Amino acid sequence: MGTPICKPPKPTGVEYQQESHDGENATSMTEVSLNGVNATINNNNILFRDVKTQGSISNHIDRSLQKQKKEELSRLKILLLGGADAGKSTIVKQMRILHMNGFSAEEMHSFQKYLRYNLFQIFHMIAMGVQECILSIPDFEKDIIEQFAQGLSWIIDIDVSNEIDALNSFLKLDCVAHFMEIYPNYSSLPDNAHYYMPKVSEMLSPSYMPTADDVLHLRIPTTHVNEINFTFSTCTIRLIDVGGQRTYRKKWIHCFDGVAAVLFVASMAAYDQSLDEVDSTIKPILYKDVFAMEPDKPQKVQNRLRDSAHLFGEMLRSKFLTSSAFILFLNKKDLFHKKLPNSPLGNYLHGFKGSDFNSACEFLKTYFLKRKSKKDKDRKIYSHYTCATDTQNVEFVFKATCDIVLQKNLNSSGIHHLQRADFASEETSHSDPSSVENEFVVDSELERKEMLISPESKVFTMIPIIALITLHIATALATEELVYVQTLWRHGDRIPKDTYPSDPYQKEYWGMPWGEITEDGLQHQFQQGENLRSLYIDSGFLGGAYNREEVVVRSADTPRCIQSALSNMAGFYVDSPAALSSVLPNWPSGWIPVPVHSEPKKEDRQLQPGVSCPKADKLSSARQNTRKFQDYLASNWNLYALLMQFGGQGAVDFNFDVLKDWFSTLRVEKEQFHLPLPEWITDDVYNQLKSVFLAGNDFVDGAEGFDVKQDDELVTLRGGYLLHEWRSNLKDASTKKNAIKYHAYSAHDHTITALLHTLGAKKSVIGDDIPHYTATLVNELWKKNGEYFVKFLFIDDFSSPARPITRLINACPNDSDLCPLQQFLDNSDKFSTKKDSACDV
């Protein structure tokens, strides 16, 4: 905050002017009396009779300047920031109730229509929940449910009495009562539903006047800057609330000047919710006079808490807020407490286990505080668990917040005196989120001011300090720390790699080279990158901007794989603070190029397992020539006959690869692009061809089948080169040989299946089929109690969550999601190889 230019107090006295006739030599003199000291001001020079008097005047002026400066610093501009529906406006309403005589009768009357709007929204979401969760809805109730679920614009044009009848009819439905009983914490229900529902019949009365509590629970989107000024304790507060929706965030910068503190509000209860502003179904325009805004275009659903944490990091990095104090309000702790048992936090935020409330609160606090950049590692952020609708809680928290900001202002200006002694918890505190009294615990007793600890009390103070230090050490040793991650994904959707002669969909139809990635493939890979971002950037494991000392990306030397790597990284670093869009007008918004490394196809045995390994090809051919497998192919001779007769193939080799390649083409056309196949390729023919593919695909790569045991050598030659690299990466990460924290590999379905075969988990993870486009295998390295463990996850496609598969890995125990690193290394060694000579015949 800038310090205004201050002038000394104007002296009082009797002025007289003695003019000379020399023009420019005329003098102007003033006799003054200041605190009983006489002085003369002659041509703006102050003349004193002795040094003692001069010192007295100087000291008085210094004291006056300091007092004025202190008064200036006590005028605090506090900016409320955070995502939509976090509770910012509720805090503003609390301040009006506590310090500005509340709301006028006219304002309370105007809240009636907002109250009905909130009730409409609740009923709308209940109707959608009933449709989603209640399997059997009586026929006579379906019409009402469908009407409320489709939207509420129909209710605009009816009068109030009919409107109330419609809402009362909805409340009496058995399916609604059944839904609220079974799903009281349904994730899409507005946060104020539990407050309004018990008294909704009373509220629907036309004569009902909202109470102060009703107003506090109202959800009214902030579409403009809302500013209030009030006196709080010894401070003059200028509190500014701005719209939290994404469309309004670009306007925030206009409020950043001279901000003493940023009060960032995040809803803890948003961990299982999607952004309202990207879901067109829950943003109906009910009152045109109230919400004069256009509905947003539907976008990809995003998690609200992740968006809030990402926004918090952006604000921390803002160059306009570097000198502002940051206070984090983790709001709606009451709702979070209710939801946690039935909606596990770990289902939405990777890395948390269990349902303990205090542990979950601590996890969320860390989730936000890890957004600090390396250069801000010493920056203090004060965090509190809050319930914005609880007046007592808000008053207590806001008082502590003002103390923090005022003390910071005074300290930075060399003024260190404060009458009060309230302190808030800093980012490393372990305050109990379930109580207000324990909400604010000083990070360390050693940080308390000397004036607060008498000499007699110091010896007793050391006892809890030692206990606190011991607790910190024990907690640190007991926690799990993510150390390293490596991911392997299949490229995005593509067109066929080749086709058969009579195929109606030849190269001209596709308009691009064979095997090229599609627009959907690029988009899906981008979304998979966003999913991985939520796991490893939003959690604070990696920084929000690309760093080549942390992240390495490698791709198979195939265009669709390289393009997939670029698309994935674009999603991984979406809205990167290093993006150049603000500097270069035509630069893609929020995008920064990330280097992708590759090796020539014929030399890359890690990511191209089917290329350039004569020994593996020989072993695979030998398996195809076994009696059982040949008999199986012969039993499907009609497929070869069809391909020769109708497919225009002519003579074909009687082997598995012919049917495999044919099925690969048909599958893309039928299942991916939904194209009609030629009449001679009936559903029976297609399903028969698919069953042959599923039966033989793993077998020819060394898996057990057709009375033949697994060929360990073939499995090693296909996937062992990449397994060796992954094992080496784990060893390096555990011994701190390099700083790389994230290796990403972009390759093919065969790359994933070959690696899973070496882990003995292909069939148990994927089954007989191949992985979907964008399917991702994840390997994490964790440190727990000083020991290292590995964890494996699998993401079936861009729309699926990560699922743990460690228990399915042969080298790991089947009763834990964490596998001791050394056990994994020892047990997987037999399938690991780096010798090029192993491929020689």
pLDDT tens digits, 253-282 = 556 677 888 899 999 998 988 765 433 332
Q: Cβ distance 790 to 806 under 8 Å?
A: yes
pLDDT band of residue 462 (cuts 50, 70, 90) is very low
Binding residues: 89, 216-222, 241-245, 331-334, 388
Instruction: Tell me the per-residue pLDDT of 614-634, one tens digit each, with 9 for 90 and over.
Output: 999 999 999 999 999 999 999
pLDDT of residue 493: 96
pLDDT band of residue 488 (cuts 50, 70, 90) is very high
pLDDT of residue 799: 87
Alpha-carbon distances of 118 from 82, 104, 186, 200, 438, rounded to whole Å:
21, 21, 17, 11, 34
Q: Cβ distance 261 to 401 under 8 Å?
A: yes
Q: How far apart are CA 426 and CA 419, in angstroms?
A: 21
pLDDT of residue 110: 81
Residue 463 pLDDT more than 70?
no
Q: How far apart are CA 267 and CA 217, in angstroms?
A: 14
Instruction: Tell me the per-residue pLDDT of 561-571, one tens digit each, with 9 for 90 and over.
Output: 999 999 999 99
pLDDT of residue 231: 83
Binding residues for GTP: 216-222, 241-245, 331-334, 388
Percentage above 90 pLDDT, the chain: 37
Q: Most confidently modeled of 46-60, 86-100, 289-303, 392-406? A: 86-100
Instruction: Tell me the per-residue pLDDT of 549-597, one tens digit each, with 9 for 90 and over.
Output: 999 999 999 999 999 999 999 999 986 666 665 567 777 766 788 999 9
Instruction: Tell me the per-residue pLDDT of 740-771, one tens digit each, with 9 for 90 and over.
Output: 999 999 999 999 999 999 999 999 999 999 99
pTM: 0.51
Residue 55 pLDDT more than 70?
no
Residue 86 pLDDT more than 50?
yes
| More confident site: 288 or 1 | 1
Q: Cβ distance 741 to 486 under 8 Å?
A: no
In this structure, what are the phi and psi dihedrals at residue 817, rounded to the nearest 5 degrees?
Answer: -80, -10
Residue 71 pLDDT more than 60?
no
Residue 823 pLDDT more than 90?
yes
Class of residue 470 by CB neighbours under 10 A (exposed 0-12, middle 13-18, buried 19+): exposed
| More confident site: 201 or 473 | 201
pLDDT band of residue 456 (cuts 50, 70, 90) is very low
The DSSP bridge pattern shows strands 37-42 and 45-47 to be antiparallel
pLDDT of residue 141: 84
Binding residues for Mg(2+): 89, 222
> What 3-state class would DSSP assign to 665?
helix
3-state secondary structure 45-73: EEECCCHHHHHHHHHHHHHHHHHHHHHHH
pLDDT band of residue 447 (cuts 50, 70, 90) is very low
Helices (H), 275-319: 304-317
Q: How far apart are CA 226 and CA 621, in angstroms?
A: 74
Average per-residue pLDDT for the chain: 78
